[in-house]
Amino acid sequence: MGITMIVTPDDLLVERSKSIDEYIEKVRPIVEKVREGGDEALIELTKQFDGVELQYIRVPSEEIDAAYEEVDDEIIDALEVAKQNIERFHSITCVERDMFIDFGDVVLGKRYVPLDSAGIYVPGGRASYPSTALMAGIPASIAGVERIAACTPPDERGKVKPLTLVACDIAGINEIYAVGGAQAIAALAYGTESVKPVDKIVGPGNIYVTAAKILVSKDVPIDMPAGPSEVLIIADETANARFVALDALAQLEHDPMAIAVVLTTSEKLAKEVQSLAEELGKGLNLENLRIAVVDSIDEAIEISNKFAPEHLEMMFEGAENCMDRIKHAGSVFVGEYSPVAAGDYASGTNHILPTAGYGRRYSGLSVETFLKHITFQKLSKDGLKRIGQAIITLANKEGLPFHAKSVEERLKE
């Protein structure tokens, strides 16, 4: 089995409609076991799914300090570069939001306040993803979240990889737990003896982690469903076939369920990308690479908006002039020198993005993810008098006489 050359581009949408319900049912007993069994359940499930004996649930602070000695200075420097760019972008986009509007006799406003706590899932099963710690921890810190907890799968020793520990520390994460999978999401949502529950759960993961997030979201809000990664690349005959192929393969190396789609107006480019992917992508699941020749860039954009990809790459002439036509995508990469890898690591935007079509309804993670707003009002007597009769009339109509009386009493001469 190899790369699928799509006959009908709309086939993508059919494939995408597979339900996550079966995975939700698979993780339901795991979540319930953690709710009932606490730490003991976390230890048992980690041994069952990860095949390791946990050395601890919460990582001791001295192990975090010691991790810096095990990570090369070059890697730490790279994390710091990424941190600076992520902080810069998220700080600038987090402009002053509080509002104070004075209408004279009525003052209205809105205040934004951070959540008290947030839980971050940092993937680590197939590989170590320290970048995710930065992508979630830094916006949470900028928002002012006081308690930031991270869960990440343990390594074969039953511990957290030093690189992940360093990244979490650099990102300002207060608590780190050596727990992964659906059981980690359950622990963050409902708590155990070692893990205090959080106010919101964020971060990407495999299909089981995503299913668990959706399951617990009835009790604890989540950022978005962010499961197996995906990219959709729109390219014309001017695109570099090698760049296109490498970007597609880069997406497939995330996860066996990751998806890469190439829509191109050039049959020549399609064949070149297919050939290069088969040559370079040995060991990857090339069945999840879809290539289609479309009649026009307009058609490709229409398909992309229906598909709502996590990552959208636009490598065609005049791409920078088409941004206002993109309605549904997690993040957009314009031009041949804007690979998804830039956003994944160090350009400054966020790589925690909605997948599986959820980009039609969700945005990527940002500082706003960790904020909520409170409205306020201050009325003078004249202000209440101006709108008082409307309040009284509506309250009486709704059968709430004390609502009406609370205004009438204030407006007595």
Which residues are part of a known binding site for Zn(2+)? 251, 254, 344, 403
90 catalytic? Reply is no
Q: Which residues are annotated as a binding site for NAD(+)?
A: 121, 183, 206
- Which strands sit side by side in the sheet containing 371-379, from one edge to the other? 99-102, 106-114, 371-379
* Catalytic pick among 175, 310, 313, 336: 310
DSSP string for residues in 43-74: HHHHHHHH----S-SBPPHHHHHHHHHHS-HH
DSSP string for residues in 316-362: STTGGG-GGG--S-SEEEESTT--HHHHHHTSSS------TTGGGT-
346 token code pair? 């160090």
* Residue 240, CA atoms < 13 Å, CB-side half-sphere: 9
408 catalytic? Reply is no
* Catalytic pick among 230, 311, 336, 351: 311
Q: Which residues are annotated as a binding site?
A: 121, 183, 206, 229, 251, 254, 311, 344, 398, 403
Radius of gyration for the alpha carbons in the chain, expressed in angstroms and rounded: 25
- How many other CB atoms are there within 10 angstroms of residue 374's CB atom? 10
DSSP string for residues in 170-219: HTT-SEEE---HHHHHHHHHH--SS----S-EE----HHHHHHHHHHTTT
Strand positions, DSSP E, 199-273: 201-202, 230-235, 259-264
- Judge contact between 152 and 178, C-beta under 8 A: yes
User: Which residues are part of the catalytic machinery?
Assistant: 310-311
